[in-house]
């Protein structure tokens, strides 16, 4: 098989780049609000169990397929079995869809960051601010362009000089910022108008304490579904991204170790994000503030920063910088996957493909921005939620395609190609794949069944 020209320089570079893809707005935005919604510690326990089982299996599969075939998803599946070529195309759709809206969210983060840098940000804590911003015609497009340009620049520079170099510098910075803010969050305390004092440590208890009260089978299933959906999105699995990154890993890298490190990184950052956000929101806005769902970051947090007084602005700048870092390295991985796949198919240079994918991203992202004004409409999705353009893209990629792709991949690996191919890849340099038995059992029996259920539930069929 032909060796790829571009590669990560070694294990650390790969782990940081893959962790950069995995750690994104999902960890910092979605994880804490799901946690708040799903009974704190209960969600944490369920999520952790899923990371160690499903997360590990799906991540290992993607990365090992990538390194084994040394190809991107579009070709990799065909190499494994020519009849399964369609799976590569299906996989390619996910980053193509995510790319349309991820840079829009990146633009929102950039806007908040810039506003805190140039002003005290009090305007951001007004209730209607976020809605009026995203429904305005020009501003969201301008900030999206800024974010997209930065993403394209990193991808343009290539795997080692762009993605790896950037991740090596950004990921440690992200960890430092998040640790600092999390510790600060725990020291907070606030007395509200009724004289009730709430402290960060009480907030930590709300976060960690498993709330089993009124736990019914139905509610537990709901928590399970939330955690499962979060896991896919958070680990960037089943969308060809980890196949692409896997194809850049040198043969002498110990996959066992790298996969564990990526999982620890991703879950650790999600955990710290919860530790940073939940106590802070609890202290200043009480338990009501935590029920705010997706508006947590853009509506509740600015209120929290405003309540902190002068230091609030500094914390806000650190927060949105960190969130911007997280979003950037994720967006880079989405774009890289598109570029790399197209380079392979059309045999064009990285530069040319970057320009073409850049234009695709730009046009689609503008459409998504306009989905909040010019093209505004509301659609009821099969899972019962009301959606706009951005939510529809998110729904098709995450709730529809990802479980479906995982289902097909598990059938391909478990029953057609056989799990031995993956195990041999993990043990390539004589390493011992400790969880090999678990892997075989999961990929053959558990993953297909659970993915089928997840797919049917999230598409509203059952």
Which residues would be at the binding site for ligand PHE (CB under 6 A)? 21-22, 24-27, 98, 233-234, 236, 239, 241, 330, 333-334
Nearer to ligand PHE, 306 or 323 (CB): 323
The residues facing 380 across adjacent strands are 386
Q: Would you call 12 exposed, middle or buried from its count of C-beta atoms within 10 A (0-12, 13-18, 19+)?
A: middle
Measured from the CB of residue 126, what is the shortest distance to ligand PHE in angstroms? Answer: 27
| Residue placing its CB nearer to ligand PHE in the complex, 81 or 295 | 295
Residues 448, 159: Cα–Cα separation, whole Å: 33
Nearest approach in angstroms of CB 161 to ligand PHE is: 21
Q: Which is nearer to ligand PHE, 38 or 266 (CB)?
A: 266
Retrieve residue 368's tokens: 């998504």
Q: Least Å distance between CB 232 and ligand PHE?
A: 8
Considering only the C-alpha atoms of the chain, give the largest distance between any 2 of them, rounded to a whole number of Å: 70
CB of 267 to ligand PHE, least distance (A): 11
The C-alpha atoms of residue 143 and residue 116 are separated, in whole angstroms, by 14
**CA 377 from centre of chain:** 26
For residues 328 and 106, what is the distance between their CA atoms, to the nearest angstrom? 7
In the numeric block, the tokens 């059992």 are attached to: 441
Q: Nearer to ligand PHE by C-beta: 88 or 121?
A: 88
Q: How many CB atoms lie within 10 A of CB 88?
A: 21
Nearest by Cα to 26 from 175, 235, 328: 235
**Distance in Å, CB of 309 to ligand PHE, minimum:** 31
- Please state the closest distance from residue 266 (CB atom) to ligand PHE, in A: 7
Backbone torsions φ then ψ of 266, nearest 5 degrees: -65, -45
- Choose between 26 and 403: whose C-beta lies nearer to ligand PHE: 26
Give the shortest CB-305-to-ligand PHE separation in angstroms.
22
Structure token digits, residue 450: 């659970």
At residue 211, φ and ψ (nearest 5 deg) are: -95, 100
**Residue placing its CB nearer to ligand PHE in the complex, 271 or 282:** 271
Tokens of 218: 């139905």
Report d(CA 154, CA 160) in Å as an integer: 10
Smallest gap from residue 236 Cβ to ligand PHE (A): 4
Q: 241 or 423, CB closer to ligand PHE?
A: 241
Looking at beta carbons only, is 109 or 423 nearer to ligand PHE? Answer: 109
- Taking the C-alpha atoms of residue 313 and residue 152, their distance in angstroms, rounded to an integer, is 30
- In the bound complex, what is the minimum distance in angstroms from residue 419's beta carbon to ligand PHE? 25
Closer CB to ligand PHE, residue 26 or residue 203?
A: 26
294 CB-contact burial (10 Å; exposed 0-12 / middle 13-18 / buried 19+) = exposed
Among the listed residues 182, 174, 228, the one whose alpha carbon sits nearest the alpha carbon of residue 19: 174
Strands 189-191 and 379-380: unpaired
Separation CA 312–CA 134 (nearest Å): 23
Nearer to ligand PHE, 38 or 62 (CB): 62
Q: Please, what is the minimum distance in Å from the beta carbon of residue 289 to ligand PHE? A: 23
Go through 306-339 and write b for each residue having 16 or more CB atoms within 10 A of its CB, e for each that does not: bbbeeebbebbbbbbbbbbbbbbbbbbbbbbbbb
């Amino acid at each position: 098989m032909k060796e790829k020209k571009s590669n990560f320089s070694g294990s650390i570079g790969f782990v940081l780049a893959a962790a950069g893809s995995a750690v994104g707005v999902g960890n910092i935005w979605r994880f804490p609000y799901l946690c708040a919604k799903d009974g704190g510690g209960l969600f944490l326990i369920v999520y952790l169990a899923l990371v160690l089982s499903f997360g590990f299996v799906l991540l290992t599969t993607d990365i090992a397929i990538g390194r084994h075939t040394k190809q991107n998803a579009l070709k990799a599946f065909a190499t494994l079995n020519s009849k399964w070529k369609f799976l590569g195309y299906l996989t390619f759709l996910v980053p193509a869809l995510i790319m349309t809206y991820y840079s829009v969210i990146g633009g929102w983060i950039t806007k908040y960051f810039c506003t805190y840098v140039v002003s005290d940000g009090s305007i951001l804590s007004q209730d209607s601010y976020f809605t009026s911003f995203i429904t305005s015609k020009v501003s969201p497009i301008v900030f999206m362009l800024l974010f997209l340009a930065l993403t394209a620049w990193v991808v343009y520079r290539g795997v080692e000089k762009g993605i790896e170099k950037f991740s090596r510098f950004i990921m440690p910075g992200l960890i430092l910022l998040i640790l600092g803010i999390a510790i600060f969050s725990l020291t907070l305390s606030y007395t509200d108008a009724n004289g009730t004092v709430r402290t960060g440590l009480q907030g930590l208890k709300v976060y960690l304490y498993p709330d089993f009260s009124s736990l019914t089978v139905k509610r537990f299933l709901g928590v399970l579904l939330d955690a499962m959906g979060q896991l896919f999105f958070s680990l960037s699995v089943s969308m060809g991204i980890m196949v692409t990154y896997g194809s850049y890993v040198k043969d002498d890298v110990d996959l066992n170790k790298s996969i564990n490190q990526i999982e620890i990184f991703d879950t650790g950052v999600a955990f710290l994000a919860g530790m940073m956000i939940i106590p802070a929101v609890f202290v200043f806005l009480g338990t009501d503030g935590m029920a705010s769902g997706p508006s947590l970051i853009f509506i509740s947090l600015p209120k929290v920063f405003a309540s902190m007084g002068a230091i609030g602005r500094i914390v806000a700048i650190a927060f949105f910088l960190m969130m911007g870092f997280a979003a950037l390295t994720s967006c880079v991985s989405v774009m890289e996957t598109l570029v790399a796949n197209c380079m392979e198919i059309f045999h064009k240079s990285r530069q040319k493909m970057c320009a073409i994918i850049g234009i695709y991203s730009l046009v689609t992202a503008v459409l998504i921005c306009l989905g909040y004004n010019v093209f505004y409409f509301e659609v009821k999705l099969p899972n019962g939620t009301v959606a706009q353009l951005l939510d529809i893209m998110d729904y098709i990629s995450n709730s529809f395609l990802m479980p479906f792709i995982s289902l097909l991949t598990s059938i391909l690996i478990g029953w057609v190609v056989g799990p031995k191919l993956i195990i041999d890849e993990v043990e390539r340099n004589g390493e011992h794949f400790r969880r090999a038995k678990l892997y075989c059992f999961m990929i053959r029996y558990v993953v297909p069944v659970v993915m089928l259920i997840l797919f049917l539930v999230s598409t509203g069929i059952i």
